[in-house]
């Protein structure tokens, strides 16, 4: 007998937010490896307009959006979402996910998987309305050099959520629209936007840490030349 719905219609979609100041190969490999490991039909990249929990980004939202566009242009599975950048407001993930759920693109039954590096996940409790994340999406926690996902590094509330929601089977994410946590290991790449900005301000090349198209954009617009 056939299932209730063709499974292809419920392939999970990835949602990947970040400051992307600038976007680099750590981000690109994370999205690509998550897409393969989790069977994501697409990964929606959402540059934050004004991130809530960090200092003002160096590059403007328009530049960070444009750099992200350059970086993902040749990947048909990657989609750019400019909603947070277009908004004047501080960017929060829960309202963004609510918007995706309301929109035709995703609806209420589509599994969504929020992609986060371990460092971002460790701070999840500081996110606006963080408990509601689990009503809206699954979360994939991806390893990042220098950070670990040990129980003692999680706050009690986050550790409890993790224990209750963690699943080992990556394919399980297709079975429900939201609510589970998976941890997986990507090729470890110790690349950060902070380090890239530091190279640029010192006049050193960041080549091979991020796509040439993004470096060209940075040079053309004279970005990251001062602190
Ligand atoms: P910054 O140094 O300015 O904080 P960043 O390199 O951490 O920049 P972000 O835009 O802050 O980049 O990160 C967006 C998301 O990508 C976060 O979930 C973060 O954990 C993840 N991420 C960034 N770089 C890596 C990496 N090298 N490996 C794994 N995850 C990464
Ligand atoms: Mg960061």
**29 domain-assigned:** yes
For this complex, say whether ipTM is above 0.85.
Answer: yes
CA of 55 to the centre of ligand 2 (A): 11
Supply the mean pLDDT for the chain. Answer: 92
Q: Is 121 in the pocket of ligand 1 (CB under 6 A)?
A: no
**227 domain-assigned:** no
CATH number at residue 164: 3.40.50.620
Of 126, 144, 227, the one to substitute when testing ligand 1's pocket (max ligand atoms within 8 A of C-beta) is 144
**1 domain-assigned:** no
**3 domain-assigned:** no
pLDDT computed for residue 226 by the predictor: 85
pLDDT computed for residue 7 by the predictor: 42
User: Which residues of the chain have a pLDDT value below 70?
Assistant: 1-9
Element (H, E) at 160: helix 156-165
pLDDT computed for residue 9 by the predictor: 54
Q: Is 147 exposed, middle or buried (0-12, 13-18, 19+ CB in 10 A)?
A: middle
Classified as helix, coil or strand, 17 is strand
**225 domain-assigned:** no
For residue 156, give its domain range: 9-220
Per-residue pLDDT of 75-99, as tens digits, reads: 999 999 999 999 878 889 999 999 9
As for how many domains the chain has, the answer is 1
Q: Are 130 and 161 in contact (CB under 8 A)?
A: no
**21 domain-assigned:** yes
**168 domain-assigned:** yes
Count the helices and strands in the chain (H runs, E runs).
Answer: 9, 8
């Amino acid at each position: 007998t056939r299932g209730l719905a063709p499974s292809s219609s419920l392939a999970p979609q990835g949602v990947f937010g970040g400051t992307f100041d600038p976007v680099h190969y750590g981000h690109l490999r994370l999205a690509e490896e998550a897409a393969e490991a989790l069977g994501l039909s697409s990964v929606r990249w959402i540059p934050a307009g004004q991130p809530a929990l960090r200092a003002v980004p160096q590059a403007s939202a328009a530049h960070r959006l444009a750099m992200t566009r350059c970086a993902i242009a040749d990947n048909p599975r990657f989609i750019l979402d400019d909603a947070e950048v277009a908004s004047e407001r501080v960017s929060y993930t829960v309202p963004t996910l609510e918007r995706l759920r309301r929109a035709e693109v995703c609806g209420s039954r589509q599994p969504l998987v929020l992609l986060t590096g371990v460092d971002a996940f460790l701070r999840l409790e500081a996110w606006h309305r963080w408990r509601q994340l689990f009503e809206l999406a699954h979360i994939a926690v991806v390893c990042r050099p220098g950070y670990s996902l040990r129980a003692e590094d999680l706050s009690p509330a986050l550790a409890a959520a993790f224990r209750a929601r963690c699943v080992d089977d990556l394919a399980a994410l297709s079975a429900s629209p939201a609510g589970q946590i998976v941890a997986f290991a990507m090729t470890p790449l110790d690349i950060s936007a902070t380090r890239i900005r530091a190279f640029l301000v010192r006049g050193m090349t960041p080549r091979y840490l991020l796509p040439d198209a993004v470096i060209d954009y940075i040079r053309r617009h004279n970005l990251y030349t001062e602190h």
